Chains A and B, each alone.
Chain A
Amino acid sequence: MTTAPVGPRTFPGSRRPVIAGLGITELGKVYGRTAARFAGDAVGRAADDAGLRLSDIDGLLTSAGVTNGVNLSLQRDLGLTDLKLLSEMQAFGSTAGQMVQYAAMAVATGTADVVACVFADNPLTENRGAGAAYGGAARIPTGWMGLLAAGGIVGANPMYALAARRHMTTYGTTSEQLGHVAVAQREWARLNPLAQMRTPITLEDHQASRIIADPFHLFDCCLVSNGGIAVIVTTAERAADLAQPAVHVHGWGQSHPGHFLRRSDGFGLVSGAVQSGPAALAMAGLRIEDVDVVELYDCYTFTALISLEDYGFCGKGEGGPFVASGVLGPDGKLPVNTGGGQLSSYYLWGMTPLSEGVIQARGQAGERQVADHDVVLVSGNGGVLDHHSTLILSPNPA
């Protein structure tokens, strides 16, 4: 048993980290803009939202998606001078949560006072299918990844499908159970004006949707979106005078199992959330039972299901019956992916669960607002269950 990590509760009250701004650009099939323009727009919107000027920002963390179009040049684009913190960050889908962690540590220690964390991507091109955006390179493949591609292992779909199948053959999880995740999240998306997919779907629709890589149907797979999202991390003291209710960052954790393209007994059976979740909760001094709202990375229905298991919302291997029990969706008792998630709202990597978590923690989610939102868990997932980040957010200072 390790001791509880030194976290925000041990910081001086004035310097405890909060999220004070959220900026969301137009999302989805928005063409003709580079990822850098989306990123700049998102940071500007986040500063406006917080009631800050761009010149108040003294730290900038950037995260690029598949088009790799956001980098240190964003400082110049935004005219930010004399920054005390600046880096490009990359741990795929866990990056957004990790940027908040590094920003929180920076403001808590006085390294910087106002840190913008931004992700933007523009994988969609007009008149080109969404699948092509993540389908792999046009050049002749080379090296180990080229070798895998030549054998048919291209992009994320095959690897996640192999992972999901292993869960199915080990625990009896079914495609219909995965479908419950998709249907429940679409119900939430109906209530979210930001969501790209708001037409209700049934379990039959899920089963009838075309096969992408069996066991995955189309409705098991996330959307592809253009856009950018930024958050502003600052101290509780600074946030007291700002425009939005502060969202306190009470705990965090990461996990990077290191099994990608290696023999791994846990492949498809356990994710990094099993480590990052307890670490984040311990830092916050909370238990999983205390979590009111759950915002998970759901690049596939399966990713949400295995994350629920690994955080401990149900037992290991019981995710299938758990999600099929009616616990999810606006009428269920566990609010999970309350904006529709990456499956139905928008796919901005880890910014999807983070942005919805901030909106819920503030109490600004309108029709989809969860009444009890004192503790919000935000989960990031990158690679093929290879990188995990967890945040514990709350509108309450302690």
Chain B
Amino acid sequence: MRVGPVVRDDETAAFFDGTARGEFLLRYCPDGHPSSPHAQLCDTCASADLTWRAASGEASVISWAVAPGRPTGRGPDKPTVLVVAELAEGPWWWSHIKDADPDRVTVGTPLTIQFERFSDQHEAVPVFAIAA
């Protein structure tokens, strides 16, 4: 699949500034615990003092699902592998694995984060790819 359109709001503005630079930003408390980008408080210690820091971009498969391809004028699309992945830093994220053969995906399959846009008018969206 190609990514869909998404526009920013106040909650996501800083995150999308990151994706525009090719960075997946996580939130960190003063003690260095990583939290999800949408966390309001530290997932570990509930600190409200969170700053943004780029993740390494490495991840692995926790679970996956396969959405069938939809019919197109050129025949059916390829199926899309949807995934929840564990980032190397610990938090989980949800997206799809780009151009993935479902038979190559299992628990623990190593992934990397890439970024794609629906159009110039829309934000860059993190997607996963199977690590080389």
Contacts and interface: CB of A to CB of B under 8 A. Distances in A.
Interface of A: 140-144, 146-153, 158-159, 161-163, 165-166, 169, 210-216, 261-264, 267-268
B12 A158 contact: no
A151 B36 contact: no
Contacts of B14: none
Contacts of B86: 263
A215 B105 CA distance: 14
Interface string B78-116: 011011101000111011100000100011000000000
B90 A152 contact: no
Contacts of A162: 62-65, 82-84, 94
Contacts of A140: 5-7, 122
27 contacts: A141-B7, A144-B11, A147-B15, A147-B125, A149-B6, A150-B118, A151-B3, A152-B82, A152-B95, A152-B96, A153-B94, A158-B67, A162-B65, A162-B82, A163-B63, A165-B64, A165-B65, A212-B68, A213-B82, A214-B65, A261-B38, A261-B94, A263-B91, A264-B92, A267-B62, A267-B84, A268-B63
A298 B68 CA distance: 23
B120 interface: no
Interface of B: 1, 3-9, 11-12, 15, 36-38, 43, 62-68, 79-80, 82-84, 86, 90-92, 94-96, 102, 106-107, 118, 122-123, 125-127
Contacts of A151: 3-4, 94-96, 125-127
A144 B67 contact: no
Nearest to A151: B95
Given A146-B7, A169-B107, A152 B38 contact: no
